[in-house]
Structure 1
Amino acid sequence: MGTMLLHRGIFVFLSVCLISFTPPCDGGNILVFPVDGSHWINMKILLEELHARGHSIDVIRASNSWYIPEKSPLYTSITIEINEGFEDFFDVYLQEHMRAQREGASALTFLKLTKDFLSMIAHAHSIWSYALPQILDDEIMVKSLKDAQYDLVLTDPAIAPGVVLAKYLKLPLVLNVRWITSGEGHFVIAPSPLSYIPVPGSGLTDKMTFFQRVKNIFFYGIILFQQEFLVGPVYDAMCEKYIEGGCDIISLLQEADIWLFRSDFVFEFPRPTMPNVIYIGGFQCKPAQPLPADLEDFVQSAGEHGVIIMTLGTLVNALPKEVANEIASVFAKMPQKVIWRHKGERPSTLGNNTLIVDWMPQKDLLGHPQTKVFVAHGGTNGVQEAIYHGVPVLGIPLFFDQYDNLLRLQHRGAGKIIELADVSGHSFEQGINEVLHHDSYRQNMQRLSRLHRDQPMTPMDQATFWVEYVMRNKGAPHLRTEAYKMPWYSYYGLDVLLLLLTIATVLLLLTFAMFRFLCCRARRSTKSKKH
């Protein structure tokens, strides 16, 4: 017993010594240029972790920001005055988008939705193109940013003034990314053969027929059009004014040191990638916490039938009235209890088993053993949280990447899609019962959950490690390819192919000329002998 206590005392002493002599981890200075809305939810989770690790954070925000508060214990704000609101513009787009979808699929509807989407995106970029000069034309502001001695810029490149600012300040750049100015980030950083890599918006998987490949190329053309004529010129003007020698936004993105990519290959289709792309899909997911007492009582009252939860994310308060009534009438007939985040007009067909809430603890409900099905719009956060907790999904995609997200679950047998145009009492009842009562949906989703969790490091640990890696090493250029600096014909080897074809053609012509010369000479020699 005495020996054991002695050994324990020695162990404690050595542990204290080791801790005492461990070099302190100096906190870094991080300049953050986020994107508002649901993108901020992701960024804030990462900032919470970086703040807990002792880093000092400054956040650039708009004066009329939706979600990014000016006062926060996590960061110091740098507020830019923006008079034009984007929220009202987005609400109008969303209502028009849902109305057009309910009218049914047609070429005219597709063209209208595409036009409205491109117009909204161009409007968002133009707002920030007028806002960024407030920083760069302000000598006092620029001096304070330089004097702050930031270690890096962390930004979400869906809107890209943060990328331009990093170039201007000559700072290492880390992207918290899935979407860039012109679509999905992989398409500008890694080889992306369109024969098996579906373009967002195409509604395709990695297994395509000939005509689906034609469709895929068409959608890629829309992305190129968006970048070349709508988004690119906005940032080209910024680059020409503020960046010595000029630049373009795609090249600036390709110069980024690290891409923290909010996806992984449990969710995404396999594809080529690059060394500086770090996959952190599901980094926001955590084990479920206990529910508030009243909500726990409601959940437990469901008994063996369990609970269905439904939410359409932070940007959509309510579905069209007739759709909400159809869904509510189906819920009213079911033995399950339902928790539905719905802020619109209360459905007239609502049953006693359905609890309408303005907000729900989504992560904690998804992790509750009573939750059987998640009815969702297909936002990236919700889909990844459903994977983490192993809850099958019935999806009603509304806009942006939501259909593509849900398609990946449906392709793996872990979810089912009902498009908004097809939602009726019959289709919704059929869909919810299929996901609820066919065990394959839950089994497939739980398999995805096991795969997602089977990693040597958590996605959040990956994210913070690589942010700090860039700080320690003043960037990560050794992980970044320089291929983007090559002209397109060199990148695809067309100049080499042309040289080889030229040499082969010359050799072939020389050989032909030599045979022709020898034949003609032999013919003349034969004629001379005859004479």
Structure 2
Amino acid sequence: MLLLLLVDLIRPLQALEVALIPSTGCYSHDVMMKEVGLSMPPGASITWIQAFLYDFGFGEIPLPANWTRLSIWGHDDEGVELMRSAGSLLWEQNVPTDFDRPWDLRGSFSFFKMLERHQTYCEKMLDDQRFLQYMRSQKTDVVLLDHFLQECMGGLAYLLNTSVVQFSNWPIADGYITSLNVPANPSATPKTGTPYSGLGMSFGERVGNLLFHWVIITARIIQNFVLSRMFARKGFPEVDIIRSEAERAIYAGRSEFLFDVVRPINNRVKYFGSNIQMNPSDYVTVIPELHENHRDVMHPQSGINCRQNIQLPNSTAQLPLSLSDCLCQNGPVSFAAANISSLPVRRTNLYMELDRSSVQQKFLEISRQFPELDWPSLTKEKFILVSFGSVAQAHYMPLDLVRQIFSAFAQTPYKVIWQTNSATKSLLWTRNISVPRNVIMTSWAPIKEMLAHPNLQYLICHGGINTINELLLFGVPVIGVHLQGDQGSNLRRLTDLGAAVMISIARIAQGQLPHTMRKFENNLERHWQRAAQLSSMLETYRTIHKDQQVFWIGWTARHGKRLRDRNFLNMHYVGDTENVFWFTVIAILIGMFTLVLF
């Protein structure tokens, strides 16, 4: 026993050998995995193992010079065409399953095509001499696997014969935690990927939830069968995908424990959302000051004489008086004369005890980097921020949908800043439609700085898990437009908590966005209050659970393999009976349906 304790004390002093297996090119997933690698102890030897299949305009993510990149390039013509078809489909329905139109299976076909490509390039990785040499020569301490849609890469992780942390830029997903023998009854727990509420589902929603559960089970059983045969053909018959998942020490998601749906979990399921190392105050570029009758915007410096305005280099924009490089000796300059609302300043804790010179520098820097936003003007104008994530690109949007969106934006009293994730010249529909005067389109925007801006009114977004976490940190309400994957689930959690409302892309196409925005704006203060409460809860929770991600990954590196080999934890999958039962029921129903038709 003493010997084991001594080994455990010495082990952290040795350089860790870490393997990172990121996604197939989704930028937000790769950023998350890189952040995980950067959190490793100094001196850790890190190998990045990736099948890069989809380039969303960012290319392969840059890595530190001391990391080893072991990647296969698969961004070919087939991948480009799949991105184009799926990218266009996002603006018509929720992908892979549209719960408003479940009979439309185009999203499911794209989904299965992606799985097929993932397996093809995973097989190429298994044949790659670099990987085989790494597998045979390296004594890896821990593998970090972005598991979503990467069951085959999970088989490669199993071959490294070490502790595996299953960690994706997704919330906790029912299809995966069943491998850890965690139940997820579809009559009670809304499946991840559905827009159903955790506060209660109607009978029809429960039926839809059950059908989606069946689809997940069927896909995983078929995939496990196909991959097992592939690994056996390659000389690795011991690889069983679901059983290898059951042997992983930790399953982690990017969501927040506080705000997840009530569901069964066990002590191997971890929530790492709160480990995002971000302080919202670090992104403040404008400091509001609360006064009895009106809002002032105070510049971050004081004590020197004032100038009327300053000219920004490489820009025709001028800074307003209150945001020049000094503060008038008479105090903050009021914008009451500039029609600024007398509403109280929201999120006052965000703007307290800031270094004013640092804030001023950030203001100037953002103004220079994004001249098209006219950053100084935002000190006098309230605005809405619109962003649909790095995957959904505006140049794929159909013209009729753009018309509906612009019609809604033109009716709001606020300026609208839309981050399109597409180069302006690629937005061909701008040739056939007039952009409303209150709308600014930009290919990229400083999202975090805008979330910290005192004149931000609310956000319209897709509901990706990173965006949801940022909204909760900054305390900003949202109108959510779910387009794919987990986004419906993420937005439903915020809607249940009172900080959001949801609208589908199909309802926007039907012209319902103006009504949704108007109703949301009429209740805006209530949504802000609720968002502030959630943000305060999260701030306290983050303080208590700081560095949890680093701790558990380090713990897995030290103990995971020993726990698996000595059976200290029940790491054997026992759910086959239930899944085989449901698979049999589905097969019988499909057979009966086929007989009736033919």
**1 CA distance for matches of 2:210 and 2:256?**
24
Residue 415 (structure 2) aligns with? 337
Query: What are the equivalent positions in structure 2 for 1:43-62 lying under 5 Å apart?
Result: 43-50=33-40, 53-62=42-51
Aligned counterpart for 1:276 among listed residues 268, 277, 280: 268
Q: Is the 8 A contact 1:182 1:226 kept in 2?
A: no
**2 CA distance for matches of 1:65 and 1:473?**
35
Instruction: Report the aligned-residue RMSD.
Output: 3.4
Deviations 1:81-111 (A, max 9, x none): 5374434303202313534679xx898x422
Query: What are the equivalent positions in structure 2 for 1:66-465 lying under 5 Å apart?
Result: 66=55, 67=58, 69=60, 72-73=63-64, 75-82=67-74, 84=76, 85-99=78-92, 109-112=101-104, 115-138=105-128, 141-158=131-148, 159-177=150-168, 184-189=175-180, 190-206=182-198, 207-229=200-222, 231-242=223-234, 245-284=237-276, 286-288=278-280, 289=283, 290=362, 292-294=366-368, 295=370, 298-303=374-379, 306-318=382-394, 319-342=397-420, 343=422, 344-345=427-428, 347=430, 348-423=433-508, 427-438=512-523, 439-455=525-541, 457=543, 461-465=547-551
State the 1:427 CA deviation.
2.8
Change (3 A) 1:354 1:53: farther
**1 CA distance for matches of 2:512 and 2:439?**
19
Deviations 1:241-270 (A, max 9, x none): 357553432221121111222112333111
Q: Is the 8 A contact 1:30 1:58 kept in 2?
A: yes
**1 CA distance for matches of 2:575 and 2:493?**
34
State the 1:308 CA deviation.
0.9
State the 1:304 CA deviation.
6.1
Change (3 A) 1:491 1:484: farther
Amino acid paired to 2:51: A
State the 1:215 CA deviation.
2.7
Change (3 A) 1:457 1:481: farther
State the 1:72 CA deviation.
2.4
Change (3 A) 1:346 1:118: closer
Change (3 A) 1:88 1:25: farther
State the 1:68 CA deviation.
5.8
**1 CA distance for matches of 2:529 and 2:483?**
26
Q: Classify the secondary structure of the residue corresponding to 1:454.
A: helix
Deviations 1:429-479 (A, max 9, x none): 332233334122111112221222222657772112111112223535477
State the 1:301 CA deviation.
2.3
**2 CA distance for matches of 1:181 and 1:247?**
24
State the 1:201 CA deviation.
4.1
State the 1:324 CA deviation.
2.1
**1 CA distance for matches of 2:579 and 2:205?**
29
**2 CA distance for matches of 1:327 and 1:298?**
23
Give the structure-1-normalised TM-score.
0.77
Please identify the structure whose Cα radius of gyration is greater: 1
Q: Classify the secondary structure of the residue corresponding to 1:214.
A: helix
Query: Which ranges of structure 2 fall in alignment gaps of 5 or more residues?
Result: 1-9, 284-361, 582-598
**2 CA distance for matches of 1:336 and 1:384?**
25
Amino acid paired to 2:577: W
Amino acid paired to 2:555: Y
**1 CA distance for matches of 2:176 and 2:122?**
22
Q: Which deviates further from its counterpart, 482-491 or 402-411?
A: 482-491
State the 1:346 CA deviation.
6.0
State the 1:313 CA deviation.
0.6
State the 1:305 CA deviation.
5.1
Residue 526 (structure 1) aligns with? none
**2 CA distance for matches of 1:61 and 1:196?**
37
Amino acid paired to 2:399: K
Q: Which deviates further from its counterpart, 382-391 or 128-137?
A: 128-137
Change (3 A) 1:87 1:387: farther
Q: Is the 8 A contact 1:98 1:420 kept in 2?
A: yes
Amino acid paired to 1:354: V
Residue 577 (structure 2) aligns with? 488
Deviations 1:407-447 (A, max 9, x none): 11112111111211221696323322333341221111122
State the 1:359 CA deviation.
0.8
Amino acid paired to 2:513: F
Q: Classify the secondary structure of the residue corresponding to 1:30.
A: strand
State the 1:64 CA deviation.
5.2
Deviations 1:131-162 (A, max 9, x none): 23434335564233332322111111111233
Residue 20 (structure 2) aligns with? 32
Structure in which a larger fraction of residues adopt helix: 1
State the 1:382 CA deviation.
1.2
Q: Classify the secondary structure of the residue corresponding to 1:194.
A: coil
Change (3 A) 1:479 1:455: farther
**1 CA distance for matches of 2:12 and 2:113?**
46
Q: Classify the secondary structure of the residue corresponding to 1:263.
A: coil
**1 CA distance for matches of 2:235 and 2:532?**
49
Change (3 A) 1:465 1:61: same
State the 1:390 CA deviation.
0.7
Q: Is the 8 A contact 1:29 1:55 kept in 2?
A: yes
**2 CA distance for matches of 1:131 and 1:255?**
24
Deviations 1:297-329 (A, max 9, x none): 835524465221001111112133222233234
Q: Which deviates further from its counterpart, 26-35 or 60-69?
A: 60-69
Higher relative contact order (CA 8 A, sep 6+): 2
Q: Classify the secondary structure of the residue corresponding to 1:313.
A: coil
Q: Is the 8 A contact 1:375 1:393 kept in 2?
A: yes
Query: Which ranges of structure 1 fall in alignment gaps of 5 or more residues?
Result: 1-21, 493-531
Give the structure-2-normalised TM-score.
0.69
Q: Is the 8 A contact 2:194 2:486 kept in 1?
A: no
Amino acid paired to 1:44: K
Amino acid paired to 1:166: A
Q: Is the 8 A contact 2:275 2:542 kept in 1?
A: no
**1 CA distance for matches of 2:512 and 2:73?**
47
Q: Is the 8 A contact 1:62 1:81 kept in 2?
A: yes
Q: Is the 8 A contact 1:395 1:416 kept in 2?
A: yes
